[in-house]
Amino acid sequence: MLCAVFIAGLASAQARTYTKLSPVTKDASGHSTVTATVTDDTGQPVGSGAVSLVDVTSGATRWLSGAALDAQGAVTFRLNALAAGDHALHAEFAGTKTDTASNSQPMSLHTDATAVPDFTITLAPTTFTVTAGGTAATTITITPVNGFTGFISLSCSGLPIDYVTCNNAPANLEITSAAAQTAVMNIQTTAGDSTDALLHRQGRPGGPLARGDGAYLALLPGVVGLGWLARKRRKLMRGMMLLLAVSVMLVSTSGCSALYWYYHLGPLFGGTPTGTYTITVTAQTSNGVTAAEHSASVALTVQ
């Protein structure tokens, strides 16, 4: 009973959201796009979280793309060579710790058949959540259209510099028939360093304080002070100055010094920052005369 009340309390702490999908428009490059927007009960935009674009046709669900919401609570998806026929598109907001998940109403879309050889790209899943240092993977599916054959190269972009890496296995696909081909994109985030990790990296069991040097440092002023008290008063001032100099020297070369840690063990690294990132997968092909390029994206949330 108490657990149910606690869970209900957590749910009520989340703000209700509403997801909408705009009509199809054209971008500057002439590609068809749709825009998803997410708002809360007050009509204010939800400026964080991940949204997926889903195609439900004849009962089959295809995850087309995923992306992070911008500060205006919106994300625009490019429709990459949808197969000819009728489609039912909707957007799914994954929700956050403070906002509930929500789906848009389905939007009907009809695409005409074309005789041009082409291909489509889809990803599954299109959203995932990891902790810093964790990995995620999504399956890339390339489906040939109208007898397309040839080599397709895969690449990823939109990665936070120095924080996230990705690789596609394989990086190139050869389409020789009407069968779809798949590859896997692996995403690796970066964990933050800790003091223990830095010590381990240096091959040391512990810093000066861990080895007990801190205790010697704490006792040193008292021991030295007793010796000075036995001296003549006229030497007291000179002794205090010497004690200060020695103490500064010891601290500067011990684990108590920030400079010591920086120069000897390296700076602490916080790892991949928390947040939601849009990572784009691009598929390109060229036969020397014509070229085609399609892309899809995933939303990576780091907690």
Together in a domain, 119 and 90? yes
- 119 pLDDT exceeds 60? yes
On whether the CB atoms of residues 88 and 56 are closer than 8 A, the answer is: yes
* pLDDT band per the 50, 70, 90 thresholds, residue 244: low
Residue 217 lies in a domain: yes
Residues 6+ apart with CB under 8 A from 183: 139, 140, 142, 154, 168, 169, 170, 171, 173
The tens digit of pLDDT for each residue in 35-63 reads 999 999 999 999 999 999 999 887 788 88
Q: What is the CATH number of the domain that holds 53?
A: 2.60.40.10
The tens digit of pLDDT for each residue in 245-294 reads 655 555 455 544 555 545 555 555 578 899 999 999 999 998 777 788 99
* Three-class secondary structure of residue 107 per DSSP: strand
- 80 pLDDT exceeds 50? yes
- 221 pLDDT exceeds 90? no
* Three-class secondary structure of residue 179 per DSSP: coil
On whether the CB atoms of residues 239 and 231 are closer than 8 A, the answer is: yes
**What pLDDT is attached to residue 82?**
79
* pLDDT band per the 50, 70, 90 thresholds, residue 146: confident
**Prediction pTM value:** 0.70
Together in a domain, 259 and 277? no
How high is the mean pLDDT of the chain? 79
Together in a domain, 26 and 138? yes
**What pLDDT is attached to residue 286?**
84
What is the percent of the chain with per-residue pLDDT over 90, rounded to a whole number?
49
d(CA 32, CA 96) in angstroms, rounded, equals: 29
Residue 97 DSSP symbol: S
Q: Are strands 172-175 and 50-57 parallel, antiparallel or unpaired?
A: unpaired
**What pLDDT is attached to residue 234?**
55
- The residue range of the domain holding 27 is 11-192+272-302
**What pLDDT is attached to residue 209?**
44
Residue 174 DSSP symbol: E
How many distinct structural domains can be found in the chain?
2
The tens digit of pLDDT for each residue in 13-28 reads 889 999 999 999 988 8
Question: C-alpha angle with apex 13: 9 to 18, nearest 5 degrees?
Answer: 130
Together in a domain, 111 and 242? no
Together in a domain, 96 and 72? yes
**What pLDDT is attached to residue 235?**
58
* pLDDT band per the 50, 70, 90 thresholds, residue 123: very high
Locate 59 and state its tokens: 């009962």
Together in a domain, 259 and 128? no
More confident residue, 234 or 295: 295
Together in a domain, 41 and 162? yes
* pLDDT band per the 50, 70, 90 thresholds, residue 242: low
Q: Are strands 291-302 and 164-169 parallel, antiparallel or unpaired?
A: unpaired
Residue 1 lies in a domain: no
* Three-class secondary structure of residue 23 per DSSP: coil
